[in-house]
Amino acid sequence: MTLSDYDSGLIFRMGRPDFLALLAIVRGGLETDEKMAVLATGAPIPPNAGSFSRCFERKSYLFARDGRNSVRGCVSAFDGIAVRIRRPTFSDAPNPIAYYNREGCFFALNVQAASGANFKFQLVSAVVTGSCHDRVAFLACGLARHLARDSAMPDGSWIAVDDAYVAGGTPLMPWPSRDLLRERHGFGYYPSSSRMFVEQVLGQLVGPRGILRTPIRISLRDATRTVRVCAKLRNFLVDRCSPVP
């Protein structure tokens, strides 16, 4: 029986040509790569350094948006989101109530993610509880420790974050107060506009049509794995210029 494109979209959340291309990639079996365990967090999509300087120049060029963003050097946008899960059992975690997100009043994983201006995930970490603050989750994902190294990124490169995080040499955020001088308020526009990329990417996963729009009703360990697989699948579809489910 051959599925039509419509039926394939309903079952696999992608068109039949995309599914066949994905099947050809994974058919040989999934090989475990120790390098994918980035910073011991399970983050599945490590930054691809490639040719170090050219790689970051390309990322910065995309964020500049043909010169519309005058604060140059942005190579990534970073943000967090609460992904809903079923209530963990005591076999999943010793303190299930820690996964209760008080802002949304549901059980969740605090997922931290970095995205490029090409709308692809660069890093995903789903290792902290839903009650955890974004600032703590950022430290737990290991990216802050990585950025503290002198060789982490070229001089002048920075990552766009919001005021839930701590500004430093690399993370750049708007001024946190609303009552600001005109100059400070104007500066805040540029890191905020760069951060919109990761907000759109995360929104497509958990939005009304996103694959994670409903709670993940499996074990906690499999839930974190599901988030990482969804991120990889999204990058695959973006590379194929196919609609993201």
pLDDT at 108: 94
Residues 88 and 161 in one domain: yes
Q: Which pLDDT score, from 0 to 100, does residue 31 have?
A: 45
On whether both 165 and 94 belong to a single domain, the answer is yes
128 and 217, same structural domain? yes
| pLDDT score at 27 | 67
What are the phi and psi torsion angles at 155 (to 5°)?
Answer: -60, 140
98 and 21 in a common domain = no
- Asked if residue 92 and residue 9 are part of one domain, the reply reads no
91 and 131 part of one domain = yes
Residues 18 and 48 in one domain: no
Contact 210, 81 (CB under 8 A): no
Give the DSSP per-residue string, 37-90: SBTTTTBS-----SSHHHHHHHHHHHHHTTTT--S--EEEEEEEEEEEBPPPPT
| Residue 147 to residue 215: CA distance in whole angstroms | 33
Quick one: 173 and 71 in the same domain? yes
List per-residue pLDDT tens for the chain, 245 residues long: 566 666 666 666 677 777 778 777 766 654 444 343 333 344 444 444 444 556 777 788 788 776 677 677 888 899 999 999 999 988 888 899 999 998 878 999 999 999 988 889 988 999 899 999 888 888 888 888 887 777 777 778 888 888 888 767 688 777 766 666 666 666 667 778 888 889 989 988 887 667 788 899 999 889 998 999 888 888 888 888 766 65
Q: Which two tokens stand for residue 206?
A: 């958990």
Q: If DSSP codes are grouped into helix, strand and coil, which group holds residue 136?
A: helix
- 26, 27, 45, 25: which is closest to 35 by C-alpha? 45
Which pLDDT value is given to residue 20? Answer: 75
What's the confidence (pLDDT) of residue 206? Answer: 83
In which domain, by residue range, is 149 found?
35-239
Q: What is the pLDDT of residue 12?
A: 62
**64 lies in the same domain as 1:** no
